Structure 1
Amino acid sequence: MNKTLKTSLVVAILLLLGAGLGYAIATWRGTQDPAANGGATLSAVGDGRKVLYWYDPMVPQHKFDKPGKSPFMEMQLVPKYADEASAGGVAVDPRVAQTLGWRTATVEKQRIGSNTEAVATVQLNDRDVAAVQARSAGFVQQVGRIAPGDVIAQGALIAELLVPEWVAAQQEFLAVRATGDAALTNAARQRLSLLGMPAATIQQVEQSGRVQSAATVHAPIAGLVQELMVRPGMTVSQGMTLVRINGLATVWLEAALPETQAAAAKPGQPVEVRMSAFPGEAWQGKVTSILAQTNTDTRTLKVRIELPNPKGRLRAGMFAQVRFAVDEQEALVVPSDAVIRTGQRAVVYVVSAPGRYQPVEVRVGREFGDKLEVLQGLQPGQQVVVSGQFLIDSEASMQGVLQRQAPAASAASPASTAASSQAASASSPAQTTHEGTGKVIAVSTQEVTLDHGPIASIQWPAMQMPFKLARPELGRGLKAGDPVRFNFTQSGDAYVVQSIERAGAAK
């Protein structure tokens, strides 16, 4: 009986141990099963593609060696496949793009044109100025009731002057005319004109037969009295300025136009002017000139506009809003948000395939509202990323996509091609050998993925990227984690390892 009880106890203990061990194994398998971490990871591993590492799309610089949830954003980690870098561009799981709400837009040709507006100030027309001077020396007997800043009419009295030289010349003219000698009379009349006596005054002396002792000075134009230099009792000299009058029939507007919009204005162009002082009213003006100097502080051009002022309501110093009409032109445009500007270049991410994005350097032109003109780099119908491209740009920088494109673009530039077609084969990146050191991440018969350090000869920073193997036997004996020294060349868009050896063997 005791023996049977002992046997039963042993069997029960073994059964309990087996159940516990089975539960532990099942739990461990559950934690290792990709299905437990989400359907995205299961499909990524189940398709047979080689995974280099997992990463969080929001924090792509951190890499993980197994799937699971991100410690940063509480979202599933995304796999990075070994064949993505060799295909070119940046690959992003479409489900991730949908989750983050990425938007794309179509590159298209449009007829674009907009009205360019600028602020302006009203100024006096400096071309419409009259300066009245004394034609002979004399004395001021009377001054009209005017002062600087007054607006006067044409013919208004400025001053009455006593000119002794004119009085003597008039007496001589009348005496000569009394003799009846026509020749002497004409000579005496000519002398009065040479002394600066107005023709109206000479005619008055000739008709009345009396000396006009006072010379009356009148305003030649209507306008604003800017300067009044005479006072009663003053002595004036010949050529002295008595008054300066600025006409008000037209005024100038000086508009400050940003230099980036300089093409919007040209001489003779009609403009529309509105002022806050007269709401609801609009004036039509014309661009007379674009001044030669740019304001270095505000980076604006001065555009001079002539504006009629028939009622004299426009005053110098008033503010105005000027609208320049721009003709519509056909241009290739993208949304302004699609362009990433680094200061040295402008980059757009083009959808090259579902879930794959290719960085393209573009040359941009004018901006029309939320549209930006593209002068070079894109074709109509292409799809560009409008939102979320900064995450793609971060991923591209991490993979070295932009760094690899820069040497290829410079090597294929028209200037370098035209410089020397005969020497191109000697200096081509495809035949230049570069040397580097790094660590093996993954290796196969066709390619090796290396985490390499900076490569000065091609101006690469440290990065992780795949390389093609020139011969299958180059990868024999290498395994993940081996420090290596390698030489490679560029062949088209691919980088081919020509020789590779472990760093210990190299030593």
Structure 2
Amino acid sequence: MNPRFRDLFIGLVFGVLASLVFVSIYRTETPVVARVEPEPAPAVAPEHAGHVGHASEPKVDHTAHAPAASEHSLLIGLERLQSIGVKFEPAALRPLERTIRTVGRVEVDERYLARVTVKLEGWIDRLYVNYTGESVKQGQILFTLYSPELLATQEEYLIALRSSRTLGKSEFPEVAEGAHSLLEASRRRLRLWDIRENHIRDLERTGQVVTALPIHAPLSGTVISKTAVAGMQTRPGEELYTIADLSHIWIVGDIYEYEMPLIAVGQKAGVSLSYAPDSTLQAHIGFIYPTVDPQTRTAKVRFELDNPGEKLKPGMYTNLELKIPLGLRLAVPKDAVLESGERQVVFIHSGEGRIEWRNAKIGLRSGDRVEILEGVHEGEHVVTSANFLIDSESQLKAAIGGMPGATHQH
């Protein structure tokens, strides 16, 4: 025999003998692993799910056969399954919900915000609300304003009023109409300066001009900004007070763009503070801003809520939590899914220690549950604990099955 072929033959013989010795040692030290034919999951009521070896353990139909799937199943002794703490639970349709958490910043509701200005030049005569943070009522006098221009306009109005009363009855229509037109022009000028109707009626009744015109609060709330001081000269459009009603506020939070399809105007949200987590207020989404921040990939969402006792102050940060119902979904415990790289694997228990592993496709996650899109059918019992041990056993079986000369027990 050619020496080269003789050395090759001797090496091959030694390799086969080494493989047979390894297999014999493995069979004496590890539980029996058998290739079995997969079969449908037993119809077991969910209340019977639990530890393997339960008295209601479903019977296995050994007549089913699907040769292509047998490579993905194995048989492990019941005592071994119990010893490693294997548990299982049926896959079932369950109501799932998605929780979105974010941080929001308290802001003033712009619909309950007013800035006090005047439309004519003058001087502040007397100040009635004189510090920031003071609470005011709608109609309350904030200050009085002295304005020479206003004095002149009041005198013009009184002259026009007297003319209208005397010339309005003239037999000449042009004269009567001119007197009425002059009176209306003077009245319109006072209204354009935001002079109240009651002040105009007082002027008509008394015939006395008001030297210091009172300026009133446009709404009830808290003074959050003030520049007015006694004796200060005012100019048209100058902001003297900012008043905010904080009994109703906004909270603006950031939501990631991939979560945007889950939210809509009107959805409820829980609001809490980090230093008072047990105290929760209820808000609702009032507006979703139409743009996304290109840096953070988030969109701003405005939440609206009542603020009893004005506990929430503008500028404070709050925790926001939205619970979004997703309807009934086929779900299993998240521990039932073994994630390995890009694959998700589940183990199906068919009874009497018969385990089958499958690739699964998961969907939404909700708390300790995960949605199953593919790989598991409703009612099938999925292994929920000791998955890593079973996975190691299945990989060992696959490795031995690929050895030359290895056989399987049935």
How many angstroms does 1:252 deviate by?
Answer: 2.9
Asked if residue 149 in structure 1 is aligned to residue 107 in structure 2, the reply is no
Q: Quick one: which amino acid aligns to residue 156 of structure 1?
A: Q
Q: 1:289 aligns with which of 282, 287, 300?
A: 287
Which residue of the partner structure matches residue 125 of structure 1?
Answer: 109
Q: Which is higher, the Rg of structure 1 or of structure 2?
A: 1
Spell out, residue by residue over 1:386-405, the C-alpha distance to the aligned partner (whole angstroms, 9 max, x if none): 1222233345556779xxxx
Which residue of the partner structure matches residue 337 of structure 1?
Answer: 335
Q: Please give the residue correspondences for 1:320-469 in structure 2 after superposition, counting only pairs within 5 Å.
A: 327=325, 329-342=327-340, 344-351=342-349, 354-367=353-366, 369-396=367-394, 441-442=403-404
Contact 1:67 1:78 in 2 (8 A): no
Contact 1:140 1:232 in 2 (8 A): yes
How many angstroms does 1:352 deviate by?
Answer: 6.0
How many angstroms does 1:208 deviate by?
Answer: 1.4
Spell out, residue by residue over 1:74-93, the C-alpha distance to the aligned partner (whole angstroms, 9 max, x if none): x9334667999973114253
Asked if residue 89 in structure 1 is aligned to residue 47 in structure 2, the reply is no
How many angstroms does 1:338 deviate by?
Answer: 0.4
Work out which structure has the larger RCO, using CA pairs closer than 8 Å and 6 or more positions apart in sequence: 2
Contact 1:137 1:235 in 2 (8 A): yes
Q: Please give the residue correspondences for 1:262-281 in structure 2 after superposition, counting only pairs within 5 Å.
A: 265-270=263-268
Percent of pairs identical after alignment?
27
Q: 1:136 aligns with which of 120, 130, 135?
A: 120
Aligned residue pairs total 345
How many angstroms does 1:223 deviate by?
Answer: 0.9
Contact 1:349 1:358 in 2 (8 A): yes
Q: Distance in 2 between matches of 1:159 and 1:204?
A: 19
Q: 1:66 to 1:198 in 2, by over 3 A?
A: same
Spell out, residue by residue over 1:288-340, the C-alpha distance to the aligned partner (whole angstroms, 9 max, x if none): 23455678999987654332346545544667676756558322111110012
Q: CA RMSD in A?
A: 4.4
Q: 1:312 to 1:355 in 2, by over 3 A?
A: closer
Which residue of the partner structure matches residue 234 of structure 1?
Answer: 232
How many angstroms does 1:375 deviate by?
Answer: 2.6
Q: 1:189 aligns with which of 187, 190, 203?
A: 187
Which residue of the partner structure matches residue 303 of structure 2?
Answer: 305
Contact 2:35 2:75 in 1 (8 A): no
How many angstroms does 1:243 deviate by?
Answer: 1.0
TM-score (normalised: structure 1): 0.56
Q: Quick one: which amino acid aligns to residue 355 of structure 1?
A: R
How many angstroms does 1:343 deviate by?
Answer: 5.8
Q: 1:301 to 1:76 in 2, by over 3 A?
A: farther
> SS at 2:131's partner residue?
coil
Contact 2:35 2:71 in 1 (8 A): no
> SS at 1:387's partner residue?
coil
Contact 2:362 2:370 in 1 (8 A): no
Which residue of the partner structure matches residue 216 of structure 2?
Answer: 218
> SS at 2:191's partner residue?
helix
Contact 1:348 1:362 in 2 (8 A): no
Which residue of the partner structure matches residue 143 of structure 2?
Answer: 159
Q: Quick one: which amino acid aligns to residue 109 of structure 2?
A: N
Contact 1:364 1:376 in 2 (8 A): no
Q: Distance in 1 between matches of 2:222 and 2:281?
A: 22
Which residue of the partner structure matches residue 44 of structure 2?
Answer: none
Compare 191-200 and 142-151 and name the one that shifted more: 191-200
Q: Quick one: which amino acid aligns to residue 139 of structure 2?
A: G
